[in-house]
């Protein structure tokens, strides 16, 4: 276990570059399971660059390697993926180990590509961050709608089995009850390369990382239409990698939640910071919220991205126009933005209500920790909070509950009086590449102990 020690009330300055999108990395890695078998001399491969150098990426890579996917690490942010000669297809069943599933909730993304290649998959209960109930019902419903048999074992694991006759009867028209990112990605990973039946996904998630996966799969030979919308159409008849020496290259887009993290760090420390290597259109709505909370911001667009200057004013005041911060499916405000904006609200003049449609009670632990630091936050049921500010915060020792709430505590510590510690810092490192080094480069006083 590691802790992060943070000295509060330190002015930040300078610039920081944003890493690749964590939530795009894992489904693109899973796409390697759809590669055709390798050949002795030349083989199809998938290159992914701007890959964040974080634990989740390498845990996922280790799972793939154990099944015969060659993960050639070109550098810390670039990999080449291909199938080795020992990769087996057909009767040998690949299974997800319980310890792997516990480490990584994204192990659920393995269902789609595995079921494209084998008749049966056993999925142990996925782990990941503890941010309230996170059932996988919508995933199971997807595979039932596709004509598969799904049952749950006594140990809590799930068995999904292909049923040829039922699959023929399924109409190929899927309507998701929830615009889930990982369910949409599982559907895409299963349908890509299908030569038998078209698949239409209605109420699909359309986050940028879903678009990235669509781009990679189309480059591999799939035919996905409606990319970037909530209606996706995957045409049958496509054959992935028609040439044995095909090579696909993709560069992951920057992580807009990491960009917001540094923006809030600048705001709560009354500092001016430039955030580099961002895509302004990913941040347009987030930028509007920051302006309504009293910040001055400026985008500078460049050919392959841009910079985002964030100026934390001496007085931050919530606009009368802004009554609530509500997480919604993309193109709305991402749910992962809520813990970060919650920290900002404690340092703003005015009242602001927060509503999370997705996770029941996700913000409760963070609110309680902030109240212990001196914040004024009232719980409104399981999905809402009312924040009154500004309130000075005092240093505390915290146990990081999960990735996003944990980094929220880091931001709170940056503006608190005194020295704070965040325990279980490795949980935060699951989603942030070199966070201590990046904060130090901005003149923050942080130390991993």
CA distances from 197 to 125, 167, 174, 234, 235 (A): 30, 10, 13, 9, 7
C-alpha 105/C-alpha 185 separation (Å) is: 14
Torsion, Cα 398 400 405 410, to 10 degrees, reads 60
**Radius of gyration for the chain, computed over Cα atoms and rounded to the nearest angstrom:** 22
CB 336 within 8 A of CB 257: yes
C-alpha 208/C-alpha 155 separation (Å) is: 36
| Beta-strand pair 419-423/397-399 | parallel
Supply 362's token pair: 């996700």
- By CB neighbour count within 10 A (0-12 exposed, 13-18 middle, 19+ buried), where does 96 fall? buried
Catalytic residue annotation: 129
Q: Closest by alpha carbon to 63, among 33, 90, 25?
A: 33
Q: What is the DSSP letter of 95?
A: -
Cα 220 to its chain centre, rounded Å, is 23
Cα 360 to its chain centre, rounded Å, is 18
Q: Closest by alpha carbon to 296, among 331, 279, 271, 276?
A: 271
C-alpha 31/C-alpha 67 separation (Å) is: 14
């Amino acid at each position: 276990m590691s802790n992060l020690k943070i000295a509060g009330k330190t002015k930040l300055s300078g610039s920081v570059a944003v890493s690749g999108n964590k939530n795009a990395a894992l489904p693109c890695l899973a796409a390697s399971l759809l590669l055709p078998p390798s050949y002795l001399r030349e083989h199809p491969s998938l290159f992914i660059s701007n890959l964040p150098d974080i634990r989740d990426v390498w845990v996922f890579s280790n799972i793939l390697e154990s099944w015969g996917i060659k993960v050639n690490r070109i550098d810390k942010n670039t990999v080449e993926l291909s199938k080795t000669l020992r990769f087996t297809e057909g009767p040998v069943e690949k299974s997800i180990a319980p310890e792997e599933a516990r480490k990584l909730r994204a192990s659920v993304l393995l269902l789609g590509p595995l079921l494209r290649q084998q008749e049966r998959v056993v999925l142990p209960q996925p782990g990941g961050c503890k941010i309230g109930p996170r059932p996988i019902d919508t995933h199971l419903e997807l595979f039932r709608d596709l004509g598969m048999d799904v049952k749950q074992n006594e140990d809590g694991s799930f068995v999904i089995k292909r049923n040829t006759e039922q699959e023929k009867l399924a109409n190929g028209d899927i309507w998701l009850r929830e615009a889930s990112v990982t369910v949409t990605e599982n559907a895409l990973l299963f349908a890509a390369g299908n030569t038998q039946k078209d698949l239409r996904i209605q109420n699909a998630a359309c986050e940028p990382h879903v678009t990235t996966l669509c781009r990679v799969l189309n480059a591999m030979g799939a035919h996905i239409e409606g990319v970037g919308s909530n209606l996706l159409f995957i045409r049958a008849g496509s054959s992935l990698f028609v040439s044995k020496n095909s090579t696909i290259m993709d560069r992951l887009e920057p992580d807009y939640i990491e960009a917001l993290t540094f923006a809030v760090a600048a705001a709560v420390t009354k500092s001016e910071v430039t955030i580099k290597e961002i895509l302004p259109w990913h941040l347009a709505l987030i930028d509007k919220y920051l302006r309504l909370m009293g910040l001055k911001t400026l985008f500078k667009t460049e050919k392959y991205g841009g910079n985002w200057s964030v100026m934390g004013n001496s007085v931050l005041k919530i606009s009368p126009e802004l009554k609530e911060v509500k997480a919604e499916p993309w193109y709305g405000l991402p749910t992962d933005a809520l813990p970060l904006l919650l920290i900002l609200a404690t340092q703003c003049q005015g009242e602001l209500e927060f509503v999370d449609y997705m996770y029941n009670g996700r913000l409760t632990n963070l609110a309680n920790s902030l109240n212990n630091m001196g914040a004024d936050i009232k719980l409104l049921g399981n999905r809402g909070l009312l924040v009154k500010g500004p309130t000075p915060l005092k240093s505390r020792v915290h146990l990081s509950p999960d990735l996003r709430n944990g980094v929220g505590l880091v931001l709170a510590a940056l503006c608190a009086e005194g020295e704070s510690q965040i325990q279980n810092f490795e949980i935060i490192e699951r989603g942030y590449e070199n966070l201590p080094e990046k904060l130090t480069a901005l003149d923050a006083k942080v130390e991993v102990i």
